[in-house]
């Protein structure tokens, strides 16, 4: 069990902001931390890891990591951290990057095999792709067999295929190493796939806490599906109006009424939903 009760005054682009978090996590939970830029997500992970000071209390399995008297040093906290920018040692090859954390060659070999990196073990980080570097970073974070795995948007710089592959590896390793994992992510499909719990942070406070289904599914009542998008354009074709809406990576056309065309403003966020028909789903 992890109990986190912390406060810290932060100085953001819009002035002062008070980070104020009171949170309990069960062991082996996979928590996604979401929220707009500057809401305090990275700071929470850094405080938990001991990279940043804060007032309050952190207790992990009855062991005090932080209170008014104690601030356990970072190397004693049983944590693995995967940073967005990999943070690998450039002068060490991949194998030595892992062994630097712990001289356990068997575990290093095992992790490199699971993540398809074993062939690259003698290469230096500079000669690897972003996805490969991120996998090394994940392996390195797991070398200590940490109790808590913290990941700060680990997959945001990767293409969709690599993201998908790494999501599966992260889930496998989370289960195998029985870590309590906290991952910052903005990607709803990623959160849905990986997390058992979602925390939404706004202005330094947790404003939403629930399962991915509760937090992410936007359909209400009898709605069959519902998407959020951005209205890009409204065009008139003969006597009808068509709204052009960007939903994720897709652009869709929706026939709208005269009245709707008058009330909608190009550029605004819109919700597209239906309850009238059953959509057809096919593998592509
Ligand atoms: N040590 C600090 N002291 C004071 N203010 C800080 C400190 N660290 C970060 N901040 C400020 O606190 C705010 C929250 O930063 P943080 O990096 O935690 O946000 P975030 O939610 O992770 O954002 P992003 O999604 O952009 O990474 C920012 O405005 C930042 O400038």
Q: Render pLDDT for 21-30 as a digit per residue (tens, 0 to 9).
A: 999 999 999 9
- Planar angle of CA 224, 229, 232, nearest 5 degrees: 130
Q: What three-state secondary structure class fits 230?
A: strand
* E runs forming strands in the chain: 2-12, 15-25, 30-34, 55-60, 63-66, 79-82, 148-152, 180-184, 197-202, 205-210, 225-237, 240-247, 250-256, 269-274
pLDDT at 25: 96
pLDDT at 131: 86
Query: For residues 99 and 105, is the Cβ–Cβ distance under 8 A?
Result: yes
Could you tell me the distance, in angstroms and rounded to a whole number, from the CA of residue 197 to the centre of ligand 1?
23
Q: What is the pLDDT of residue 227?
A: 84
For the chain, residues with pLDDT lower than 50 are: none
**Given this chain, do its domains 2-216 and 225-274 carry the same CATH topology?**
no
According to CATH, the topology of domain 2-216 is: Rossmann fold (3.40.50)
Report the CATH fold assignment for 225-274.
OB fold (Dihydrolipoamide Acetyltransferase, E2P) (2.40.50)
- What's residue 220's pLDDT? 61
Cα(9) to ligand 1 centroid in Å equals 10
Q: Where are the domains of the chain?
A: 2-216, 225-274
The full DSSP string for 190-210 is: HHHHH-SEEEEEETTEEEEEE
User: Quick check: CB of 160 below 6 Å from ligand 1?
Assistant: no
pLDDT the model gives residue 222: 64
Q: In the numeric block, which tokens belong to residue 78?
A: 């049983």
| Ligand 1 site, residue 40, Cβ cutoff 6 A | yes
């Amino acid at each position: 069990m992890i109990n986190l009760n912390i406060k810290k005054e932060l100085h953001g682009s819009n002035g002062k902001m008070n980070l104020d978090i009171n949170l309990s996590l069960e062991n082996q939970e996979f928590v996604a931390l979401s929220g707009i830029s500057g809401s305090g997500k990275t700071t929470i992970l850094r405080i938990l890891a001991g990279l940043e000071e804060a007032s309050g209390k952190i207790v992990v399995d009855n062991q005090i990591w932080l209170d008014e008297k104690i601030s356990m040093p970072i190397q004693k906290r049983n944590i693995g951290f995967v940073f967005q920018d990999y943070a690998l040692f450039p002068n060490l090859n991949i194998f030595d990057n892992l062994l630097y954390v712990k001289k356990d060659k068997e575990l290093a070999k095992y992790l490199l095999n699971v993540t398809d990196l074993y062939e690259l073990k003698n290469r230096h980080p500079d000669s690897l792709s972003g996805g490969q570097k991120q996998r090394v970073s994940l392996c390195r974070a797991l070398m200590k067999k940490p109790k808590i795995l913290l990941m700060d948007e680990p997959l945001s710089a990767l293409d969709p295929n690599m993201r998908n592959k790494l999501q599966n590896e992260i889930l496998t390793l989370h289960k195998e190493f029985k870590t309590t994992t906290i991952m910052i992510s903005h990607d709803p499909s990623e959160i849905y796939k990986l997390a058992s719990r979602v925390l939404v942070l706004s202005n330094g406070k947790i404003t939403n806490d629930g399962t991915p289904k509760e937090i992410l599914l936007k359909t209400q009542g009898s709605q069959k599906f519902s998407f959020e998008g951005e209205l890009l354009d409204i065009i008139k074709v003969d006597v009808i109006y068509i709204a052009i809406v960007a939903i994720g990576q897709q652009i869709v056309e929706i026939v709208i009424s005269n009245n709707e065309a008058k009330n909608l403003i190009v550029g605004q966020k819109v919700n597209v939903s239906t309850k009238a028909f059953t959509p057809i789903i096919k593998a592509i």
